[in-house]
Amino acid sequence: MATGSEALDTMVERLASTADPRRRYEYVLWLAKKLEPLPDEFRQDVFKVKGCVSQVYVVGQLMEGRLHWQGDSDAAITKGLLALLMAGLEGLSPAQVADLDPGFMAQTGLQASLTPSRANGFLNIFKMMQAQARVLALQGLAE
């Protein structure tokens, strides 16, 4: 299943081809360690992902018609899941993100090894990113 994002397709393929759930976790934790710190000004309720057990913030910004993401979480696995989504959706247009089918998440094989609350958080982070993309698309049209 091609998502429309080369980076996301590559990560999904990498995770899907890994039989060992521990290796998937290690990859997600590695992504978390690469995430840049989130500036304090973005640690606001408007950027906080609802429905996550851990504290998760994600901020989308539109630059020259392309989305750029920043975010953070206080839980390492959640931070890695956020990092995966941020890297996968980086540089896409708002329409591409808004139209993305969340089915790619199941293909990663991560759902099977995540607790139900983490799997739900993963989906909630993605939905928040889609919602921000839709708002930014409308703002882009208004400018």
For the annotated catalytic residues, the residue numbers are 52
**What is residue 48's DSSP assignment?**
B
Residue 29 parent element (H or E): helix 21-34
- Residue 100, both tokens: 């993305």
Phi and psi torsions of 60, nearest 5°: -100, 140
Q: How many of the other CB atoms lie within 10 Å of CB of 8? A: 21
